[in-house]
Amino acid sequence: MFTGIVSDLGEVLEVDPKAEGLRRLTIASGYDPDTIDLGASIACSGVCLTVVARGRAGNRSYFAVDAAAETLAVTTAGSWQRGARLNLERALRLGDELGGHMVSGHVDGIAELISRENLPDMAWLTLRVPAGLAKFIAPKGSVALDGVSLTVNEVAGDTFSVLIIPHTLKVTMLGGLGVGAGLNLEIDLMARYAARLLEAAQR
């Protein structure tokens, strides 16, 4: 589990195709590799991936993860190339502060940025969500976009808007987004379970 609070910005160093659609991604980060266990989970722009290697190369630290065909197909990981920058978050530990909301790292779909209004030190982003996901998004509810915990401001049909504050613009990759960008969207876990319970009750 994660909180949607980005703790580092990573850079894809290598993308190595493996058998059966698998890709190994080597990602530079500021994390001390000695503190990363093999098998640990790290959210990479909202995608929960398992560490299969870690170490140092020159003056840079890195970890490697394997992305399976399904992950490559349903998240933006399929488009990551060398030099891509990623929001990173290590898995929540018992006793850690829950600063955002509970995030699983299991992406529900890709949201498209359809407009961006730059305000003094802030940005107003409007996104279109895939069919079937809009019902899970409500004003004042939570979503994770590329691994960043955000509060929904407005909802209209299959679109919703969020306001990005100065700190978030500075410490995540959201600051550099342009119209047309795709972002990994994870709906709020509580909304998902509430919808499932309602569906079961109506049968």
Please report, in tens digits, the pLDDT of each residue of the chain (203 residues total).
899 999 999 999 999 998 888 999 999 999 999 999 999 999 999 999 999 999 998 888 999 999 999 999 999 999 999 999 999 999 987 666 667 788 999 999 999 999 999 999 999 999 999 988 998 999 999 999 999 999 999 999 999 999 999 999 999 999 999 999 999 999 987 776 676 666 667 77
Task: State the catalytic residue, choosing from 48, 77, 111, 181.
Answer: 48
Task: State the catalytic residue, choosing from 40, 53, 68, 134.
Answer: 68
Q: In CATH, what number does 8-90 get?
A: 2.40.30.20
Is 2 part of the annotated catalytic residue set? yes
Task: State the catalytic residue, choosing from 91, 106, 134, 159.
Answer: 106
Mention every residue, 6+ apart, whose C-beta is less than 8 A from residue 62.
Answer: 13, 26, 27, 28, 29, 33, 54, 55, 56
Pairwise CA distance, residues 195 & 190, whole Å: 9
> What's the pLDDT score for residue 190?
74
| Fold agreement between 8-90 and 109-201 | yes
Is 50 part of the annotated catalytic residue set? yes
Is 44 part of the annotated catalytic residue set? no
Q: In CATH, what number does 109-201 get?
A: 2.40.30.20
Is 7 part of the annotated catalytic residue set? no
Q: Where are the domains of the chain?
A: 8-90, 109-201
Is 48 part of the annotated catalytic residue set? yes
